[in-house]
Copies of this chain bind each other. A is one copy, B any other.
Amino acid sequence: MNKVVSGADEAIRDIEDGMTLMLGGFGLCGLPEKCIGALVKKGVKQLTCISNNAGVDNFGIGLMLQNRQVKKMISSYVGENAEFERQLLSGELDVELIPQGTLATRCMAAGYGMPAIFTPAGIGTEVAEGKEVRNFNGKDYLMEMAFDADFAIVKAWKGDTLGNLIYKSTARNFNPVMAMAGKITIAEVEELVEPGTLDPDHIHTPGIYVHRIFKGEGYEKRIEHKTVRQKGSENTI
């Protein structure tokens, strides 16, 4: 059960031009920083990236966009990225915007071996165009297909050498559902431990879903919108 690789470069060694990748994270939170760095270094191109967001100009998937590696983004929200906007308007980049819950559930469907799901999200909107609508119990639902990704790349807090993963706080987000959904799943973790160290009841992603794992060094964990309150402030938000 040799899942441990030396680092991001080895983990992504066989990702090739034109492949479809899932990348975990919400905004800049819970991003697989190290694998994104390795993908930029490798320079692999024409990628389709399924990720809730597209990073910012100089962090996250934004780095791959600046390097012109992305052919298509499948996301729910992409609004923080000037280079993204430039490439989209110039026609260099294709984008498919889908509701966030649909994005998450299409990942889960792949991981659960369900070819399609029904969701009310997008009924009566342009998202429904060309899709099958079906009424159950008086309510309309869209049929949406499970994703089909060559690789899923996720970031966890702790992992063991068998691939079991534990996420921290809201850095969990899309990572568990994408981890289930890749034909090959790569996990980068802050702490890599021996089997038996993690409590079996605390595992979020069972190792069966994870094919490669490595410990990333020196996570930057950039904050997109630092918001704080003053001590003694009446308002909480």
| Residues on A facing B (Cβ under 8 Å) | 105, 112-120, 136-137, 139, 141, 145, 166-169, 172, 200-202
Contact = CB atoms under 8 A, between A and B. Distances in A.
A167 B114 contact: no
A139 B116 CA distance: 12
* Chain A facing B: main interface SS: mixed
B118 A116 contact: yes
Contact of A168 (B105, B118, B172, B201): B201
Contact of A137 (B115, B117, B137, B167): B115
Contacts of A137: 115
Contacts of A167: 201
Copies of the chain in the assembly = 2
Contact of A116 (B113, B115, B136, B169): B136
A145 to B, nearest CB: 8
A94 B167 CA distance: 44
Contact of A166 (B169, B172, B201): B201
Given A114-B118, A115-B139, A202-B202, 15 more contacts: A105-B112, A105-B114, A113-B120, A114-B117, A114-B119, A115-B118, A115-B136, A115-B137, A116-B136, A117-B117, A136-B145, A168-B201, A169-B200, A169-B201, A172-B201
Contacts of A112: 105
A117 B169 CA distance: 30
Q: Which of A117, A120, A166, A169 has the most CB of B within 10 A?
A: A117
A1 B204 CA distance: 28
A172 B141 CA distance: 31
Contacts of A115: 118, 136-137, 139, 141
Contacts of A202: 201-202
Contacts of A105: 112, 114
Nearest to A120: B113
Contacts of A136: 115-116, 145
Nearest to A145: B136
24 contacts: A105-B112, A105-B114, A113-B119, A113-B120, A114-B117, A114-B118, A114-B119, A115-B118, A115-B136, A115-B137, A115-B139, A115-B141, A116-B118, A116-B136, A117-B117, A136-B145, A166-B201, A167-B201, A168-B201, A169-B200, A169-B201, A172-B201, A201-B202, A202-B202
